[in-house]
Structure 1
Amino acid sequence: MWRAFFYDWRHHDSGTHDEQFGWGLESVLRPRAFFPAPPIIDVPQDTPADVFNQIKQSFELFWSDFNSCANRLRVSVEFLLDMLKIGRFGTDKKGKTIALDLNGRIALFAKIEPDHADTLTALRMIGNLGSHGNEVSREALLDAFEIYGEALKDLCGNRKARMAALRAKLISSKGRY
C-alpha cells in the first residue's frame, strides 16, 4: 500500500461552472511524496541493478523535485551504457586518451545500436536540464519515462531477440503449432 505525504493545497480559478453554485474556485491537491514510490514505467527484470536503482530513485523524486528526477534518469543512462560495454574513455585526434562525456558515449553507442541512440540523447537532454537547474516540466518527464521504458524493453528485456524468435517460429511452422 502506498502512502502519500505533503500535499500542496492551492486554490485557483478553474473557470468551472457548477449548476448549483455558479462560477468559483476549486481546490487542487498534489502529492509531494509517496512511500514507497509507485513505478512510473515497467522496468524489465534483467535491467542491471545500478540502472534500476537510479530509475527507482527517479520514481521517488518525481513527486517532489522534477529536476532531480531528470538527473537520476541521466545517471541511469550512464550506467546503462556501462552495461552495454560503451567505454568511458576514447582517443582524440592526436591519439591521446580522453574521458568521454555522455554525448560522446552515446555517439559511440549510435554506431552499434542506432535505433536507441536518439532515445538516450533525449534522456541526456532532459537530464542536463535538471542537472543545470533549468525547469523540467512534468509532461517532459513523463514523455522521457515512456520512451525510456520502451528502450529498456529492447536493451535489457531482450524484446528484439524474443520477437525475432517468434517470427522465426511462425515462419518455420507456417503458423501451425
Structure 2
Amino acid sequence: MTGTSTDVPEEMLDQSLEWFEYLQPESMLPPPPIISTERVPRPVRVELEKSFGLYWNDTGACASRMRTSLERLMDHFKIPTTTTTARDRSGKKYRKRLDLASRIDKFAAKVKWNQYSQMLHALRVVGNIGTHGNKAVTKTDMLDAYKLYEHALANMFEEKNESITEIIKRLYGMK
C-alpha cells in the first residue's frame, strides 16, 4: 500500500490540542475487494476487480471499469450487441450497434423485472460520467454505486437451492 499521511490538530474535551495522523491510501496491490464477487461470472468479476484497484487513485477510471463490467454482465445474459431493426433512408435494414442503455432495457425486458433496469441504468450513468469526464466521480459516489451493484448481483446470482420457507421450517424444528 502506498499513500500519504497528514497530521491534524484536534481539540480535546479539556481544550488541549492533540495531533492525529490520518492516512490516505493511493494504491494497493492487490486491491482489497470492495464488494463480494464470489458468485459473479468471471468476465464481470475481472472488470470489477480492476475497478477496485483504481478506486484509490482514479475514481473516473474506476467508474469506467465498473461500466465495462456492466457490458460483460449483459454479455453473460446473452443480450445482443447489435440489432437489425434499424433502417437507412431507403428503408433497407442494416446492423446497428446497441449502446449499453439499450442493452440494459433488453435485459430488463428479458428477466421481466423493472427494478434491474433502474439499478443498472443508475450504474451506467456513474460509469458514463467516469468514462467521459463530464464531472468528477467521488469516492462516495463509487461506494454508493458498488453497494447498488452488489445488491443487483446478489439478486442475480445468489444460490436459490433452498427456499426461505424451507429454512424457516428447519429452524422451527430446532425446538
TM-score interval (norm. to shorter):
0.7 to 0.9
Contact kept, 8 Å, 1:170 with 1:176, in 2: the verdict is no
Residue in structure 1 matched with residue 118 of structure 2 by the alignment: 118
Over 4 Å off, 4+ runs: 24-27, 170-173
User: 1:51 matched to which residue of 2?
Assistant: 44
Structure 2 counterpart of 1:62, from 36, 49, 55 = 55
Select which of 162, 166, 170 maps to 2:163. 166
**Whole-angstrom distance in 2 between the partners of 1:132 and 1:11:** 35
The answer as to whether partners of 1:89 and 1:99 remain within 8 angstroms in 2 is: yes
Deviations 1:44-70 (A, max 9, x none): 33x221111100011111111111111
Alignment deviations for residues 86-106 of structure 1 (CA, whole Å, 9 cap, x no partner) = 110123453432100001101
> How far does residue 155 in structure 1 lie from its aligned partner after superposition?
1.6
Q: What amino acid does structure 1 have at the position aligned with 2:163?
A: L
RMSD: 2.6
- Give the CA deviation at 1:169: 3.7
Contact 1:89 1:98 in 2 (8 A): yes
- Does residue 34 of structure 1 match 2:28? yes
- Distance apart, 1:74 and its partner CA: 0.2
Q: Is 1:87 paired with 2:80?
A: yes
Please state whether the residue corresponding to 1:96 is helix, strand or coil: strand
Unaligned residue ranges in structure 1 (runs of 5+): none
Percentage of matched positions with identical amino acids:
30
110-119 or 134-143: bigger deviation = 110-119
Q: Secondary structure at the match of 2:163?
A: helix
Partners in 2 of 1:172 and 1:29 — Cα distance? 49
Q: Report if the CA contact (8 A) 1:44-1:152 is conserved.
A: no
1:44/1:156 contact within 8 Å kept: no
Total equivalences in the alignment: 164
Query: Is 1:44–1:157's contact at 8 Å kept on the other side of the alignment?
Result: no
2:142 paired with 1:146: no
Counterpart in the other structure of 1:104: 102
**Cα distance, 1:82 vs. partner?**
0.4
Q: Which amino acid aligns with 2:121?
A: T
Aligned residue number for residue 16 of structure 2: 21
CA distance in 2, matches of 1:143, 1:171: 32
For the residue of structure 2 that corresponds to 1:29, the secondary structure is: strand
Summarize the Cα distance change of 1:21–1:91 in structure 2 as closer, same or farther, 3 Å threshold: same
